[in-house]
Chain A
Amino acid sequence: MKKLSFVVGLLMLAGELLAGPTALEIIKKMDALQNGDNQVIVSSMIIKGRRTTRTIKSKSWIQGDEKSFTELLAPAREKGIKMLKVGGKLWIYYPRADRVVNISGHMLRRSVMGSDMSYEDMMERRSIEETYHAVLEGEEKIGERMSYRILMTAKVDDVAYQKVKVWIDKTRYITLKQELYAASGKLLKRLDTLAVMKSSKGWYPSQVRFKDVLKEGDGTEFRVKSILFDQKISKKRFQKGQLRR
């Protein structure tokens, strides 16, 4: 009897190993590689409009999912604008008006600096486990890379996108492609990873194109210049008083 139990146990373990990771496990592994306790990122946002292409340079301090502080470094018209996110709240300081403005409610749906990204896209802080059912649909080749194709369906009503399809690199565990859908099934936004870089934790998407498919133009490109994980960030960094400094 003991022998039989041992064999059955062994078979079950082998079965699990052969079945591979679940959708949630893949997402958690990707999260762990891309987000440490905190990050300090220097990046550029290239917004391709109908008349001009603008490049906005910024430095961000990010603490977990709850807190972030971003300061815009260029161009001159936007230099000095600071954004503070704490939990579900977002404040923006505009040096030209010397005003701290709280962005909330329907204002969160507006575009960030004319980009294809909305404030809402920046604000989601709950874990995927909390907000979506994730199902591994299969594997697919994106460019030269094999990826897991995962379908996520919203568990809650108050998420920006009711359905999300994500393709995650099988070996590097980074997002290669993402499609964001409305409840009606209409595609709203699309994300494509254009380049990757090595970070202290592994691979990191260094160039990403984010496209609001309902909007004219060629989308918004994010380029990461540098990323540092697990830095010493003062608690003061995430206080409102920091906005006017």
Chain B
Amino acid sequence: MIRFLAKGLLRDRSRSLFPILVITIGIAIVVLMESYIAGTLGTMYRSTAKFTTGHVKIQSRAAVAENVIGAADLSLLGNQALLANLEKEAPDMNFHERIYFGALLDVPDSKGETRFQSTSLITAIDLLTERNEVHNLNLNKSLQEGRLPEKANEILLGQIFKDYIGLDIGDQITLIGGDIDGGMAVGNFTVVGTVRFGIIAFDRSSLIMDVTGAQEFLAMPDGATDIYGFYKDDQYFYHRPQALVERFNARYSVRAEEFSPQMRMLEQQNQLEDVMVIYSNITGYINGLFVVIMGIVLWNTGLMSGIRRYAEMGVRLAMGETKRHVYYTLLVEAVLVGIVGTLIGTAVGLVPAYFLQEIGFDISQMMGGAQMSIIFEDRIRALITESTFTAGIVPGILAPLFGALISGFGIFRRDTSRLFVELEV
């Protein structure tokens, strides 16, 4: 029966070509839209994760409880053993020590006395080992002048900060802060390059150094304020690391020990849970609304196809085919058309979605010619997920089916004699 109907559709292109074409275009748009929205969410997760939260972040219980960033005296110590364990316990992730802290940046004059002074925010990451985070923070692309640090006492300054201070590449600065015990931390560092963070507050006051330089400066050779964890596939979705977080905290985090480690996933930090739920809902509504609109268009196509074939139906009824059978074949045909249109539409939509995922769309010109920064990306990217493949099913198959269901009611409302007259058979 289905074979017979499929042959009929293939041979009578007036019954199949236009509906399949409309469904293909509609579903291709739905697929592209779905992957684009998933990509936007992914970009948001990536930007937040790479600089602020990681996919998971480990801090001391005291740092979590006091909600402080960059308090050296609340750092985690003995991290090498912890990192070795984490590698075994979460093989799908990479973990990195990071140190965020504040210090007084002092620039000497020719006599070695203060010429300029400012508070500075320091991000210390692994820059020198094989497991470095250069790629994580887009440092190669964000570099504005000079080169990346090659030694522990070399630093990168925010471009605006460097210009404001009036420094040249190769100049020396002194950092003065408090070490892990609250003691005086003092060190000289050489400016070897500048970077663009992408947020004016960071560009004006931030610098980047290697984590070993910061550990030496803060007198904590095996310590860090944070340990960031990232999935190797770079993909994050809501509550993905929940099982890991629960397992880790049950094993390592001791309520009575304020310096024991505590792991939190992305949405557990900085009140991001609410932001993510709201953002996710909004994008879901947008996606849903688009699907509904496409559904109406495709339903209308189904409706039109049904109505357009009233003459054929009249003949079939006159030849003795039951109304129920005519209606049934109409529905099966609609489903066949829907399946074919959805398959082709999904395939067509995946092409630009894949392009957007892999290459992205350069928006730097729209952003006033801004280049890649550490925090923000200069490309819009899509993300193809499982739901990209299934997004077209509801509008692509159900909508034409509903169209056929409604238009087919006409068959039951008409007498055979009236159909003859009406359909001019």
Q: Measuring CB to CB, which residues of chain A are less than 8 angstroms from any residue of chain B? A: 47, 49-52, 54, 75, 77-78, 81, 91, 94, 96-102, 104-107, 110-111, 113-115
Cβ of A96 to closest chain B Cβ, rounded Å: 5
B252 to A: closest C-beta gap in Å: 19
Shortest distance from the beta carbon of A211 to any chain B beta carbon, whole Å: 15
Residues 166 to 186 of chain B near chain A (Cβ within 8 Å) = 174, 176, 178-184, 186
- Interface stretch (choices B34-42, B105-113, B299-307): B105-113
| Alpha-carbon distance A128/B368, docked complex (angstroms) | 57
Chain A contacts for B112, CB-based, 8 A: 98-100
- Rounded to whole angstroms, the CA-CA distance of A47 and B184 in the bound complex is 12
Which residues of chain A have C-beta atoms less than 8 A from B182's C-beta?
A: 47, 49, 54, 111, 113-115
Smallest CB separation, B181 vs chain A (Å): 5
A75 to B258, CA, bound (A): 26
Q: What would 9 more interface pairs be, CB under 8 Å, given A101-B104, A114-B182? A: A51-B181, A75-B183, A81-B184, A97-B186, A100-B112, A101-B176, A105-B117, A114-B178, A114-B181
Does B180 lie within 8 Å of A77, measured CB to CB? no
CB nearest to A56 among chain B residues: B183
Q: How far is the CA of A52 from the CA of B184 in the complex (A)?
A: 14
**Chain B residues, CB < 8 A from A91:** 113
Which residue on chain B has the smallest CB distance to residue A48?
A: B182
Query: Chain B residues near A110 (CB, 8 Å)?
Result: 104
B104 near A96 with CB under 8 A, answer no
Q: Across the interface, do A94 and B186 meet the contact criterion of CB distance under 8 Å?
A: yes
Residues on A with beta carbons closer than 8 Å to the beta carbon of B179: 77, 114
Bitwise, B99-142 to A at CB < 8 A (1) or not (0) is 00000101010001110010100000000000000000000000
Cβ of A239 to closest chain B Cβ, rounded Å: 14
Within the complex, what minimum Cβ distance (angstroms) separates B46 from chain A? 35
- Whether A99 and B106, one on each chain, are in contact in the complex, defined by CB atoms closer than 8 angstroms, is yes
Residues from chain A with Cβ under 8 Å of B119 in the complex: 106
Q: How far is the CA of A75 from the CA of B182 in the complex (A)?
A: 13
Q: What is the CB-to-nearest-CB distance from A52 to chain B, in angstroms, rounded to a whole number?
A: 5
Is the contact region of chain A dominated by helix, strand, or loop, or is it mixed? loop
5 intermolecular pairs with C-beta atoms under 8 Å apart: A50-B62, A101-B176, A105-B117, A107-B104, A114-B184
B78 interface residue per 8 A CB criterion: no
Find out whether the CB atom of B184 lies under 8 angstroms from the CB atom of A78.
Answer: yes
Q: Is the CB–CB distance between B183 and A113 below 8 Å?
A: yes
Residues of A within 8 A of B258 (CB): 50
Q: Are B183 and A78 neighbours in the complex by a CB distance under 8 Å? A: yes
Could you tell me the distance between the alpha carbons of A51 and B71 in the complex, rounded to whole angstroms? 13
Contact, CB under 8 Å: B181 / A49 = yes
Residue of A nearest to B177 (CB): A110
Contact of A99 among B62, B181, B188 (CB under 8 A): B188
Nearest first, the 6 closest Cβ-Cβ pairs linking A and B are: A114-B182, A102-B114, A94-B186, A97-B186, A49-B182, A52-B181
B183 engages A101 (CB within 8 Å):
no
Q: How far does the Cβ of A13 sit from chain B's closest Cβ, in whole Å?
A: 55
B-to-A contact residues, CB < 8 Å: 62, 73-74, 104, 106, 108, 112-114, 117, 119, 174, 176, 178-184, 186-188, 219, 258-259
Bound CA span A243–B117, Å: 19
Q: Which of chain B's residues have a CB closer than 8 A to the CB of A75?
A: 183
By the criterion CB–CB under 8 Å, are B73 and A99 in contact? Answer: no
Cβ contacts under 8 Å, B188 to chain A: 97, 99
List chain B residues, Cβ under 8 A from A54: 181-183
Inter-chain CA distance A110–B177, complex, in Å, is: 10
Separation in Å of the B122 CB from the closest CB of chain A?
16
Known: A50-B73, A111-B178, A114-B178. A102 touches B113 (CB 8 A): yes
Once the chains are docked, how many angstroms separate the CA of A180 from the CA of B52?
37
Residues of B within 8 A of A78 (CB): 183-184
Q: Cα distance A78–B186 when bound, in Å?
A: 10
In the complex, the answer to whether B73 meets A51 with C-beta atoms within 8 Å is yes
Contacts of B113 in A (CB 8 A): 91, 99-102
User: B180 — which chain A residues lie within 8 A by C-beta?
Assistant: 51
A91-B113 Cα distance, complex, nearest whole Å: 9
Contacts of A77 in B (CB 8 A): 179, 183-184, 219
Out of B73, B117, B178, B187, name the residue touching A102 (CB < 8 Å): B117
In the assembled complex, the Cα of A52 lies from the Cα of B219 at a distance in Å of 13
Q: How far is the CA of A105 from the CA of B104 in the complex (A)?
A: 12
Question: Chain A residues near B74 (CB, 8 Å)?
Answer: 50
Q: When the two chains form their complex, are residues A99 and B186 in contact, meaning their CB atoms are under 8 A apart?
A: yes
Given contacts A50-B62, A94-B176, A94-B186, contact A101 B181 (CB under 8 A): no
B184 near A99: Cβ-Cβ < 8 Å? no
Q: Are B181 and A100 in contact (CB under 8 A)?
A: no
Shortest Cβ distance from B185 into A: residue:
A77
Cβ-defined partner of B184 (8 Å) among A98, A104, A106, A113: A113
A51 engages B219 (CB within 8 Å): no
Q: How near does chain B come to A70, taking the closest CB pair, in angstroms?
A: 13
Q: How far is the CA of A94 from the CA of B187 in the complex (A)?
A: 9
CB neighbours (8 Å) of B117 from chain A are 101-102, 104-105, 107
CA distance A45 to B258 in the complex (A): 26
Q: Are B187 and A101 in contact (CB under 8 A)?
A: no
State the Cβ distance, A82 to closest chain B Cβ, in Å.
Answer: 12
Most central of B62, B74, B182 by chain A CB within 10 Å = B182
A80 to chain B, nearest CB (A): 11
The answer to whether A94 and B184 touch across the interface, beta carbons within 8 angstroms, is yes
- Counting chain B CB atoms within 10 Å of each CB, the highest count among A50, A78, A81, A104 belongs to A50
